[in-house]
Structure 1
């Protein structure tokens, strides 16, 4: 399923299908018919979700036993 970053338009309180508020900063959600209707109505802005940061590998500690 396609996921989108969904952000409510300024000053609007938008609830998801489960009754929870959509954060003002937005949230990555599955782009279902419910959210497509909210975008079409102009209540929500849909954007591509941010790419996940690449996890850095743990480097070995310098200095160890001598």
Structure 2
């Protein structure tokens, strides 16, 4: 995936979370399986930001960087 595809995917997920915040716990579980060393606090922060109105993908850059360390 290139940067544009990743951004589009993040925006699509954000739109789903904004429309259905009840999906957040399931997304946290999915991300825990993908990133087993990530803290639940970090994952929740990412998803809460993504579910917020006027989501800006750059707002989760630090959180995403932390997942990859």
* Structure 1 and Structure 2 fold alike (TM over 0.5): no
CA radius of gyration, larger in: 1
- Structure with higher helix content: 2
Structure possessing the higher relative contact order (Cα contacts under 8 Å, 6 or more residues apart): 1
- Structure with higher strand content: 1
